[in-house]
Chains A and B, each alone.
Chain A
Amino acid sequence: MSLLRVSNLQTTYSMRTTSVRAVDDVSFDIEAGECLGIVGESGCGKTTIGMSLMRLLSANGHITGGEIDFDGRDLVSISEHQMRKVRGNAIALVPQDPMTSLNPVTRIGTQIAEGFRIHGGSKARAMTRALETLRMVEMPNPEERLRQFPFELSGGLRQRVMIAMALVNEPKLLIADEPTTALDVTIQAQILDVLDGLREKLGMAIMLITHDMGVIAGRTDRVVVMYAGRKAEEGPTTPIFKQMRHPYTRALLSSVPSIDAEHTERLLTIPGLPPDLSKEIVGCRFAPRCRFATDECTAVEPQLGGDDGHVYACYHPVDGPELIGASVAGLTKDDDVRDSATRESLLTVTNLVKDFPIKSKRLVPGGEHLAVSAVANVSFEIGQGETFGLVGESGCGKTTIGRLVVGLETPTSGSIVFAGRPEGLSGHKAKVADAKLRQMMFQDPYASLNPRKRIRDIIAEPLEIQAEGTNKTRFARVLELLGEVGLPADAVDRYPHEFSGGQRQRVGFARALAVRPKMVIADEPVSALDVSIQAQILNLMEDLRDEHGLSYIFISHDLAVVRHIADRIGVMYLGRLVEVGPAKQVFSEPAHHYTQGLLDAVPIADPVLAKTRKNKITGELPSAIHPPSGCRFRTRCPAATEVCAAEVPPPSEVSSGHIVACHHPLRTTVAIEATTASVPLL
């Protein structure tokens, strides 16, 4: 008898005019102490499954069929009163966003104890229990935390509190819905380790809901792959990754860029978008996007079949992952062609500093003038047609650098110089001249497009600002751009909300290209998108880069994506550039302990490899108001010594163009003159 048996679950959301069957006829089991992963793209119904189990669906959502048998009780039919006794007691939930899931005006201890008290725990024991659970989640200084408020804690620590809250009644099943999506990789690895340890210690079952194949790979026993409200495939983790049968599972895996890729192949994408669930769907739901689809697929929906334990719904099952290099010849691009040594310089950033002043206590005489040191003495150079990847965790200053380069912020000191910019301009004219050379592509494609403007006006705006051409020529250019980014011409009269996320990012890209800039600054351009869509956008960016000889500054927290697209990479930590070099070398032979730690923390979509890796970076990002002296990474560095606290590490060269700023680098280095013109400065 399994702990949880979900049979033929069906959950429907009623909309204004239609209803959407978000989960349709889904069955699965979870054994006691097991970790089941549920993976799929947004809108596939994975979160709805979790919410159905908790019976916490939004007001318009209803379980319209099926049974949820938990520990001998049917959770669908029991009364709300009985369900309340299950919630937070036998089944507990860890939500996605730790920043908004804690009550800001209540102390941590009280919040954790609340769940204990609700389910009949005594007041006398409540605080002791809260402390116990905080210890369980390996919270640093747990006694102190009990008295603190949520705003005093970082995101990672808050997620630990959320887990502690879920654990307070020792649940039999823990539902973790994207528990690490809002966190940085090093913190993500820490949280996943905590969850792993707890499962062993307490023997509870975990249902891990995520979109990230990497997170699933190392931590789960079994995996359910969801597509458009249906279960596409289910099986033990290793076979799902190594011998998957459903084409969707395979496509999902091959569209994720790999961090260890020898070649930077073109990504394989899944064409199109998931189907509209408010309409009746005939046949296999994946058929319109599947290259193996036949008439049979579009006529009758395939039933789940397969060996015991590994089931899939497909008429034409595949056998294991795509052999990229062999099966699709000519897709590999040559790294040598994209050699950066011979490029002419396009952008030179020298000793860039940006401090954001915090309001000083002006009423108090002698009050301190505080500032957040967002960018501290950063220098780099980007050549014509080169893609420079800027990576680092949130708060490292990579976004600020992007904003400084496009003129959305003014540097505190230092200079940003574009080659080819006309001399002697000032004020607004200089801004317009700069904008002609570089344009920006934003992270959130929805927020960055004015919802009250048509696409024609949105894409033509940079041209209008440059006062280029007439209305007629501008419109012609808009049509040309739409073609380049793969959107139909009739999109010109549409408004942004009529597009899907991926399409909106295409519009954003078209707008950035409108004035034929030399450089596009892309700030997390794909992190808001599903992996299959992400691959489409990345391929498009590569195609148009090669076609127009564009340069990119590609800012991302996702190392695999940066590895895929960038020629050269800069690794940032707390406002400092700690390592710069050719993408291949930085990833294969990292010289800085932080780079190494980042690489170790990235979840990889390979269950065998994932289990062998160990996260080395501990602790949290220090405050940028009082950054650590000397090397800013020393507080989290495994190799830190006294000299790291005393002196800022000077740049040294690992190999040509590969430069690191560390007192104890992982590779042998040669000291360099900080003023040598030919090498980028740190």
Chain B
Amino acid sequence: MSHVEIEPAVSQLHVEGTAVASEHGTLADGGEVRGSGSIFIQMFRVFMQNKLAVGACLYIFFVVMLCIVVPQLYPQHYWATAGADYGSSCYLPIGSVTGNPGNAAPNAAHWLGCTGGFDNVGLLAYAGRFSLMIGLLSAFVTMTVGTAYGIVAGYRGGWLDSVLMRFDDVFLSIPVLYLLLLVITIYGQGLWSLIGVIGFTSWFGVARLMRSEAQLLRNREYAQAARSMGATGRRVMWRHVLPNAVSTMVTAGTFALGDAVLTLSALGFLGLGLRPPDYDWGTMIQSASSGFEQGWWWTLWPVAFIFILFVLSTNYIGDALRDSFEVRLQER
């Protein structure tokens, strides 16, 4: 409704001050332009209006700090998988359970209890390091490959688009899990191979998304305007299509991060995750699932909680980012 840009009083002053072709007193003056500050500040303002996303950001910050700080503070044997210390307080008998395999319930010394001789807080943070790193790097791989592939296909169109997209269709029609199993069997379960495997098996959807975005943007009037000025295809792609696809990219990127962490957990649960001494949340869940049957609830709940909240948070942040990139919302 109100797209009004100037203070009326200001515009009057301005009218007299500008030397424009207004020889007849009828004004060729366009009036003052309202500035609303740097585009980043405006984006930040819109983002901050989404309380859920702000909470999600705080939570993710908290998790990241946990993963960085806790392993530094805790004594080595609480988290390193080099070997369990049977003298540690994790092996104190709990209740009438005999032959306690180091699964102490939450207590004053171990706030979240122990799993297999390790403190759960330390374990969560240690496993989180791997989960987050793999998640982040493989999401990066996903986005880079998917965006490049999709934008080229969508912008160029024609036969190239057809070929690229049929290729994409083939991979989309294979269940990702089969693909993962196959590739992991070939390349092993190392840290870097997992990053590569997850990254290269999850970009097909992103490529689709970016292709439709590029198809839309290439026909926008500003892209046509550039073409009418004699701009090359490369210029239009870099200057006009890509910058306007950033919002979609960032949103897809946050979802990709959540998905990558999720995929890693699924692999861990299937026993295809990292091998000791490396550890991740999925492997934690997998080892906890047997303890759960014994009534050792603390082996599963903390990791499940922290992990589900993390994936949820990435989704909320993605939504809020999409809003803050929407230029029209910045006006209000």
Query: Which of A's residues lie within 8 Å of B, judged by CB?
Result: 13, 15-18, 20, 22, 43, 48, 266-269, 271-278, 287-289, 328, 330-331, 406-408, 428, 431-436, 439-440, 442, 444, 447-453, 461-462, 465-466, 483-488, 490-491, 494-495, 497-503, 506, 511, 515, 536, 539-540, 543-544, 547
Query: Which of B's residues lie within 8 Å of A, judged by CB?
Result: 1-9, 11-12, 14-15, 18-22, 24, 26-36, 39, 49, 220-222, 224-232, 235, 239-240, 243-244, 246, 327-328, 330-332
Contact assessment for B33 and A439 in the assembled complex, using a CB-CB cutoff below 8 Å: no
Using A17-B332, A273-B11, A408-B224 as known contacts, say yes or no to A494 and B21 having CB atoms under 8 A apart.
no
Contact assessment for B230 and A434 in the assembled complex, using a CB-CB cutoff below 8 Å: yes
Contact assessment for A22 and B1 in the assembled complex, using a CB-CB cutoff below 8 Å: yes
Contact assessment for B221 and A20 in the assembled complex, using a CB-CB cutoff below 8 Å: no
Contact assessment for A442 and B221 in the assembled complex, using a CB-CB cutoff below 8 Å: yes
Contact assessment for A43 and B222 in the assembled complex, using a CB-CB cutoff below 8 Å: no
**Least Cβ–Cβ distance between A343 and chain B, in angstroms:** 23
- A408 touches which one: B12, B34, B228 (CB < 8 A)? B228
**Least Cβ–Cβ distance between A525 and chain B, in angstroms:** 13
22 A-B Cβ contacts within 8 A? A13-B1, A18-B332, A22-B1, A271-B11, A273-B4, A273-B31, A288-B11, A406-B228, A428-B232, A435-B229, A449-B222, A461-B226, A465-B226, A485-B28, A486-B18, A487-B33, A495-B39, A498-B35, A498-B36, A515-B229, A540-B21, A543-B21
Contact assessment for A272 and B6 in the assembled complex, using a CB-CB cutoff below 8 Å: yes
Contact assessment for A271 and B230 in the assembled complex, using a CB-CB cutoff below 8 Å: no
Contact assessment for B331 and A276 in the assembled complex, using a CB-CB cutoff below 8 Å: no
Collect the chain A residues with CB atoms within 8 Å of residue B3's CB.
Answer: 43, 500-501
Contact assessment for B228 and A435 in the assembled complex, using a CB-CB cutoff below 8 Å: yes
Contact assessment for A503 and B5 in the assembled complex, using a CB-CB cutoff below 8 Å: yes
- B221 touches which one: A276, A447, A500 (CB < 8 A)? A447
Collect the chain B residues with CB atoms within 8 Å of residue A267's CB.
Answer: 26
Contact assessment for B222 and A540 in the assembled complex, using a CB-CB cutoff below 8 Å: no
Collect the chain B residues with CB atoms within 8 Å of residue A431's CB.
Answer: 230
Contact assessment for A448 and B4 in the assembled complex, using a CB-CB cutoff below 8 Å: no
CA distance A407 to B28 in the complex (A): 31
Collect the chain B residues with CB atoms within 8 Å of residue A461's CB.
Answer: 226, 229, 231, 239
Contact assessment for B222 and A450 in the assembled complex, using a CB-CB cutoff below 8 Å: yes
Given contacts A17-B332, A276-B7, 19 further A-B contacts (CB under 8 A): A18-B332, A277-B4, A288-B8, A407-B228, A435-B228, A440-B225, A483-B20, A487-B30, A488-B32, A490-B35, A497-B328, A499-B5, A500-B3, A500-B4, A500-B6, A506-B30, A536-B27, A543-B21, A543-B28
Contact assessment for A490 and B33 in the assembled complex, using a CB-CB cutoff below 8 Å: yes
**Least Cβ–Cβ distance between A252 and chain B, in angstroms:** 15
- B5 touches which one: A20, A273, A449, A540 (CB < 8 A)? A273
Collect the chain B residues with CB atoms within 8 Å of residue A495's CB.
Answer: 39, 327
Collect the chain B residues with CB atoms within 8 Å of residue A428's CB.
Answer: 230, 232
Collect the chain A residues with CB atoms within 8 Å of residue B31's CB.
Answer: 271-273, 500, 503
- B21 touches which one: A452, A506, A547 (CB < 8 A)? A547
**Least Cβ–Cβ distance between A57 and chain B, in angstroms:** 11
CA distance A335 to B9 in the complex (A): 38
Residue of B nearest to A61 (CB): B1
CA distance A288 to B18 in the complex (A): 17
Using A16-B49, A453-B243, A498-B33 as known contacts, say yes or no to A440 and B4 having CB atoms under 8 A apart.
no
CA distance A653 to B124 in the complex (A): 89
**Least Cβ–Cβ distance between A171 and chain B, in angstroms:** 27
Collect the chain A residues with CB atoms within 8 Å of residue B34's CB.
Answer: 498
**Least Cβ–Cβ distance between B170 and chain A, in angstroms:** 23
Residue of B nearest to A281 (CB): B8
CA distance A428 to B236 in the complex (A): 14
Collect the chain A residues with CB atoms within 8 Å of residue B330's CB.
Answer: 497
Collect the chain B residues with CB atoms within 8 Å of residue A465's CB.
Answer: 226, 229-231, 235
Closest 8 CB pairs of A and B: A288-B8, A435-B230, A448-B221, A432-B230, A276-B4, A447-B221, A452-B243, A271-B27
CA distance A444 to B33 in the complex (A): 19
Residue of A nearest to B3 (CB): A500
Collect the chain B residues with CB atoms within 8 Å of residue A330's CB.
Answer: 24
Using A486-B18, A503-B5 as known contacts, say yes or no to A331 and B24 having CB atoms under 8 A apart.
yes
Collect the chain A residues with CB atoms within 8 Å of residue B12's CB.
Answer: 272, 288
Residue of A nearest to B223 (CB): A450
CA distance A272 to B33 in the complex (A): 11
In this complex, the member of A406, A453, A486 whose beta carbon has the largest number of chain B beta carbons within 10 angstroms is A486
Collect the chain A residues with CB atoms within 8 Å of residue B239's CB.
Answer: 450, 453, 461
Residue of B nearest to A275 (CB): B8
**Least Cβ–Cβ distance between A496 and chain B, in angstroms:** 8
**Least Cβ–Cβ distance between B174 and chain A, in angstroms:** 28
Contact assessment for A440 and B228 in the assembled complex, using a CB-CB cutoff below 8 Å: yes
Using A461-B229, A486-B20 as known contacts, say yes or no to A450 and B28 having CB atoms under 8 A apart.
no
Collect the chain B residues with CB atoms within 8 Å of residue A289's CB.
Answer: 8
Collect the chain B residues with CB atoms within 8 Å of residue A43's CB.
Answer: 1-4
Collect the chain B residues with CB atoms within 8 Å of residue A266's CB.
Answer: 24, 26
Contact assessment for B26 and A451 in the assembled complex, using a CB-CB cutoff below 8 Å: no
**Least Cβ–Cβ distance between A265 and chain B, in angstroms:** 10
Collect the chain A residues with CB atoms within 8 Å of residue B243's CB.
Answer: 450, 452-453
CA distance A48 to B1 in the complex (A): 10
In this complex, the member of A268, A450, A461, A506 whose beta carbon has the largest number of chain B beta carbons within 10 angstroms is A450
Collect the chain B residues with CB atoms within 8 Å of residue A543's CB.
Answer: 21, 28
CA distance A539 to B26 in the complex (A): 9
Using A274-B4, A497-B328 as known contacts, say yes or no to A503 and B33 having CB atoms under 8 A apart.
yes
Using A488-B32, A497-B330 as known contacts, say yes or no to A20 and B24 having CB atoms under 8 A apart.
no
**Least Cβ–Cβ distance between B187 and chain A, in angstroms:** 39
**Least Cβ–Cβ distance between B220 and chain A, in angstroms:** 6
Contact assessment for A539 and B5 in the assembled complex, using a CB-CB cutoff below 8 Å: no
Collect the chain A residues with CB atoms within 8 Å of residue B226's CB.
Answer: 461, 465
Collect the chain B residues with CB atoms within 8 Å of residue A497's CB.
Answer: 327-328, 330-331
CA distance A341 to B123 in the complex (A): 89
Using A288-B9, A408-B228, A432-B230 as known contacts, say yes or no to A503 and B221 having CB atoms under 8 A apart.
no
Residue of A nearest to B12 (CB): A288
CA distance A204 to B231 in the complex (A): 57
Contact assessment for A20 and B1 in the assembled complex, using a CB-CB cutoff below 8 Å: yes
CA distance A544 to B239 in the complex (A): 29
Collect the chain A residues with CB atoms within 8 Å of residue B29's CB.
Answer: 271, 486
Residue of B nearest to A429 (CB): B230
**Least Cβ–Cβ distance between A36 and chain B, in angstroms:** 23
Collect the chain B residues with CB atoms within 8 Å of residue A278's CB.
Answer: 2
Using A452-B246, A536-B28, A544-B21 as known contacts, say yes or no to A16 and B5 having CB atoms under 8 A apart.
no
CA distance A515 to B231 in the complex (A): 14
CA distance A449 to B220 in the complex (A): 9
CA distance A277 to B231 in the complex (A): 41
**Least Cβ–Cβ distance between A255 and chain B, in angstroms:** 10
**Least Cβ–Cβ distance between A413 and chain B, in angstroms:** 21
CA distance A483 to B22 in the complex (A): 12
Collect the chain B residues with CB atoms within 8 Å of residue A502's CB.
Answer: 30
**Least Cβ–Cβ distance between A46 and chain B, in angstroms:** 12
CA distance A211 to B29 in the complex (A): 23
Contact assessment for A269 and B27 in the assembled complex, using a CB-CB cutoff below 8 Å: yes
**Least Cβ–Cβ distance between A127 and chain B, in angstroms:** 40
Contact assessment for A276 and B2 in the assembled complex, using a CB-CB cutoff below 8 Å: yes
Collect the chain B residues with CB atoms within 8 Å of residue A48's CB.
Answer: 1
Contact assessment for B332 and A15 in the assembled complex, using a CB-CB cutoff below 8 Å: yes
Using A432-B230, A452-B243, A543-B21 as known contacts, say yes or no to A503 and B30 having CB atoms under 8 A apart.
yes
Contact assessment for A539 and B33 in the assembled complex, using a CB-CB cutoff below 8 Å: no
**Least Cβ–Cβ distance between B113 and chain A, in angstroms:** 45
Collect the chain A residues with CB atoms within 8 Å of residue B26's CB.
Answer: 266-269, 271, 331, 539
Collect the chain B residues with CB atoms within 8 Å of residue A536's CB.
Answer: 27-28, 30
Collect the chain B residues with CB atoms within 8 Å of residue A540's CB.
Answer: 21, 28
In this complex, the member of B27, B222, B328 whose beta carbon has the largest number of chain A beta carbons within 10 angstroms is B222
Collect the chain B residues with CB atoms within 8 Å of residue A539's CB.
Answer: 26, 28
CA distance A444 to B19 in the complex (A): 27
Contact assessment for B2 and A488 in the assembled complex, using a CB-CB cutoff below 8 Å: no
CA distance A406 to B113 in the complex (A): 72
